[in-house]
Chains A and B, each alone.
Chain A
Amino acid sequence: MIKEKKLVIFTGFVIGLAALVLVAFGNPANMGFCIACFIRDITGSLYLHTAPHLQYARPEIFGLILGSTLLALINKEFRATSGSAPVMRFVLGFFMMAGALVFLGCPLRMVLRLGGGDGKAIFALIGFAGGIALGSYFLNQGFTLGRSYKQKSIDGIIFPVVSILLLIFGFFKLIGVPSEEAHAPFFLSLVLALIVGGLAQRARFCMVGGIRDFILFRDNRLFLGSFTLFVTVLIGNIILGNFHFSFTLTSAIWYILSMALVGLCGALLGGCPLRQLILTGEGNGDSAITVLGMVAGAAVSHNFSTASSPTLVKTGGKIEVIVGLVIVSIIAFVIVKKQNKEVM
């Protein structure tokens, strides 16, 4: 029990450290890791959107998936499974990405932004916790996406293999656009992501799980990981002179609502964007579909200009967040209703 807690705390510490290093070596500010932003950049590198400077095949994402695959293989935990409501997962992944691109960060980056002194991220955190609370309520009422089933091993291997191929294509600049966004050196990003992916697989690290497990079971194990991550980044940024406090009420409501959408989707999906990557690496096809939903969400967000710019939350993004909250709540409500009917 204590060992499990130590592992998750250690993982939070290593993720924080890796994030600090990646920023020091060239990743954008407070973006050592951002699962949403990096998937968006990969989406751009494949020309599924053409937003300038957001078209780099980030090796971090592939490293996280492959790190998880490696550890899962070593520990004999690699299992190809799928069949748990794939279309619904795609939709939830889509809206999880849409919400994240209105706030401009996945839950992981939200904590990194907080640790960098970005006061606006406090609103995001409030919304995120609220979304998870709502999702936990649905879960307690019987919400389920249904069982997954064992598949042929090759089904689980496809995503890791595609990750290796895209890594190679990215390295040789066969994908992506030369005017690429600021980034840390390729191999540094890859190696750190492999380490983080492996650790996150072992520790079941999850930003959604931290708050969810506390609400549902008063279990603080995963929360300690997120908290350690925050403290590590906060102290690191202060030491490195990267802590710049800022605070404004502008768009606060949209930070709350967009991350509420992310929290709600994450709770219903059973994990934050990072956790979806890790599960994908373990052979979980349902999470792979979720990641593809996130790719679609990123493409739509940029092709239809709903993604925020660093200074502006766009009208399209606001509409998208509201629509997302309504659709996802309806989905959850309908499933809970149906589930309870079946039980009776």
Chain B
Amino acid sequence: MEVDARGLVCPQPVILTKKALKNKPEQLDVLVDNIAALENVTRYATAMKYDVTKTPDGDEYILNLRKR
């Protein structure tokens, strides 16, 4: 599963992530392109008990969320 939150400003990346995590998937990729979104999605996912690994991809980041 993947959420494309590129070009979106807070709080939308987090809302999209929240909706995607509703059914508690094992893992989820979230694409973001600004640091505020990266921080906000990471904070939310961590609070929802997901581990987050970030991979930079040019100006963008792929956040891999895995259920703890």
A interface, CB within 8 angstroms of B: 1, 4, 75, 77, 79, 81, 83-84, 139-140, 144, 146-150, 204, 209, 212-213, 216-217, 219, 221, 270-271, 279, 284, 286
Interface of B is mostly: helix
Contact at A216–B43, with CB atoms within 8 Å? no
Q: Which of B18, B33, B39 contacts A4 (CB 8 A)?
A: B39
| B18 to chain A: closest residue by CB | A217
The CA-CA distance from A286 to B39 in the complex, in Å, is 21
Contact at A148–B7, with CB atoms within 8 Å? yes
Contact at A139–B12, with CB atoms within 8 Å? yes
Q: Which residues on B sit within 8 Å (CB–CB) of A216? A: 11, 14-15, 18
Q: Which of B18, B34, B47 contacts A79 (CB 8 A)?
A: B34
Q: Which residues on A sit within 8 Å (CB–CB) of B43? A: 1, 4, 219, 221
Contact at A147–B8, with CB atoms within 8 Å? yes
Contact at A213–B7, with CB atoms within 8 Å? no
Q: Which residues on A sit within 8 Å (CB–CB) of B18? A: 216-217
| A75 to chain B: closest residue by CB | B35
**A212-B7 in contact given A150-B59, A204-B39, A217-B18 (Cβ < 8 Å):** no
Encoded as 1 (CB less than 8 Å from any A CB) or 0, chain B from 3 to 14 comes to: 000111111101
Q: Does B64 contact A (CB under 8 A)?
A: no
Contact at B34–A217, with CB atoms within 8 Å? no
**A270-B35 in contact given A1-B43, A139-B15, A216-B14 (Cβ < 8 Å):** no
| A149 to chain B: closest residue by CB | B7
Q: Which residues on A sit within 8 Å (CB–CB) of B6? A: 147
Q: Which residues on B sit within 8 Å (CB–CB) of A221? A: 43
Interface centre among B6, B18, B36, B46 (most CB of A within 10 A): B36
Q: How far is the CB of A137 from chain B (nearest CB, A)?
A: 12
Contact at A144–B12, with CB atoms within 8 Å? yes
Q: Which of A83, A219, A271, A284 contacts B47 (CB 8 A)?
A: A219
The CA-CA distance from A16 to B33 in the complex, in Å, is 32
Q: How far is the CB of B42 from chain A (nearest CB, A)?
A: 9
Q: How far is the CB of B60 from chain A (nearest CB, A)?
A: 10
Contact at B15–A140, with CB atoms within 8 Å? yes
Q: Which residues on A sit within 8 Å (CB–CB) of B33? A: 150
Contact at A209–B10, with CB atoms within 8 Å? yes
Q: How far is the CB of A232 from chain B (nearest CB, A)?
A: 24
Contact at A212–B8, with CB atoms within 8 Å? no
Q: Which residues on A sit within 8 Å (CB–CB) of B36? A: 204
4 interchain residue pairs of minimum CB distance? A147-B7, A270-B9, A148-B7, A204-B36
Q: How far is the CB of A77 from chain B (nearest CB, A)?
A: 5
Q: Which of B24-67 contact A (CB under 8 A)?
A: 33-36, 39-40, 43-44, 46-47, 59
What are 8 A-B pairs at a CB distance below 8 A? A79-B59, A83-B7, A84-B7, A147-B6, A148-B9, A204-B10, A213-B11, A286-B9
Question: Given known contacts A81-B7, A149-B7, A219-B43, what 13 new A-B pairs fall within 8 Å (CB)?
Answer: A75-B35, A83-B7, A84-B9, A139-B12, A147-B6, A204-B36, A212-B11, A213-B11, A216-B11, A219-B44, A270-B9, A284-B9, A286-B9
Contact at B46–A1, with CB atoms within 8 Å? yes
The CA-CA distance from A146 to B12 in the complex, in Å, is 10
Q: Which residues on A sit within 8 Å (CB–CB) of B46? A: 1
The CA-CA distance from A202 to B30 in the complex, in Å, is 22
Q: Which of B8, B11, B39 contacts A209 (CB 8 A)?
A: B11
Q: How far is the CB of B8 from chain A (nearest CB, A)?
A: 6
Q: How far is the CB of B15 from chain A (nearest CB, A)?
A: 6
Q: Which residues on B sit within 8 Å (CB–CB) of A83? A: 7
Q: Which residues on A sit within 8 Å (CB–CB) of B40? A: 204
Contact at B7–A270, with CB atoms within 8 Å? no
Q: Which residues on B sit within 8 Å (CB–CB) of A150? A: 33, 59
| B6 to chain A: closest residue by CB | A147
The CA-CA distance from A154 to B11 in the complex, in Å, is 27
